[in-house]
Amino acid sequence: MRTIVVGDIHGCAKALRALLEAIAPQPQDQLVFLGDYVDRGPDSKGVIEQLIELQQQCQTVCLLGNHEIMFRGALRGLNPDLWLEIGGRPTLTSYGGRLDNVSAAHRSFLDALLPYFETDQHLFVHANYLADKPLEQQPEQTLFWEHLADRLPDPHHSGKHVFCGHTPQPQGGIGYFGHFTCLDTGCVSGFWLSAIDVDSGQTWQVSRHGHLRESWRVVRKLWAAIRRKRQ
């Protein structure tokens, strides 16, 4: 079984399709998505459709991102102005310009998103974390909104490696910080949608147009070093 973590998608449905084709997930594989599936990119509806379909093909864990929080708020009748201003307009367009067009299946998907995920060796959050608190005690502001530019977290007290998204990394590079890794590699801004096998270190990167990039050898070396340290 592989556990593969995927960074921020932001409406880049073509990139997600190409990434999944490259990964070729098997029924026993577990894919963990770090949130921000919608907004800014051209086809948020198509992204959510793919994620719903993927649930029938393998094990999926889909985290809640701050853009899903705003999208859900608009669907529940909150003032959508802020959401529309910071990326929601392309999402609305992908649904034909009407929130009423968001299907019950897509609403159920959004309502079921998880605030965080934890395994024996890894923690998964959307944005950031406090090192001295378990995930269930993390503030919402930290989990969903706090950028790494505001605060680089210390190693988590559990000793587990943390994966996050939310903060775009320079030039589309995967942000490796020793005790945590950031996978927001700016697909919607012209860089890459990234995924990592958390055990083998195999890396996939795909452009927003669906072009696969060769895995970074340096990332493989870093993950090999992590595995040696654990042994």
Residues in contact with 178: Cβ distance below 8 Å, sequence separation at least 6, in sequence order: 155
* Domain boundaries, given as residue ranges, for the chain: 3-230
**Per-residue pLDDT at 11:** 98
Return the structure tokens found at 226: 């992590």
Identify the CA nearest to 35 among candidates 150, 135, 114, 106: 114
* Rounded Cα distance, 196 and 203, in Å: 5
Whether the CB-CB separation of 152 and 129 falls below 8 Å is answered with no
Query: Residue 178's closest CA among 198, 199, 158, 154?
Result: 154
Q: What is the DSSP string of 204-216?
A: EEE-TTSPEEPPP
Neighbours of 65 (CB within 10 A): 28
* Residue-by-residue pLDDT tens, the chain, 231 positions: 999 999 999 999 999 999 999 999 999 999 999 999 999 999 999 999 999 999 999 999 999 999 999 999 999 999 999 999 999 999 999 999 999 999 999 999 999 999 999 999 999 999 999 999 999 999 999 999 999 999 999 999 999 999 999 999 999 999 999 999 999 999 999 999 999 999 999 999 999 999 998 755 445 555 555 555 555
145 sits in which H/E element: none
Interatomic CA distance for residues 65 and 38, integer angstroms: 9
**Strands, E, within 65-221: which ranges?**
117-118, 122-124, 161-164, 175-176, 180-182, 193-197, 203-206, 212-213
What's the pLDDT at 228?
58
Amino acid letter, residue 201: G
Question: Which amino acid is located at 206 in the chain?
Answer: V
Give the containing element (helix H, strand E) for 66: helix 66-75
Rounded-to-integer distance, Cα 43 and Cα 128, Å: 26
Superfamily of domain 3-230: Metallo-dependent phosphatases (3.60.21.10)
**Is 58 in contact with 82 (CB distance < 8 Å)?**
no
Closest residue by Cα to residue 64 from 56, 72, 74: 72
C-alpha 199/C-alpha 32 separation (Å) is 13
**Secondary element (H or E) of residue 82:** helix 81-83
What is the rounded CA–CA span in Å between residue 189 and residue 9?
11
- pLDDT value for 217: 47
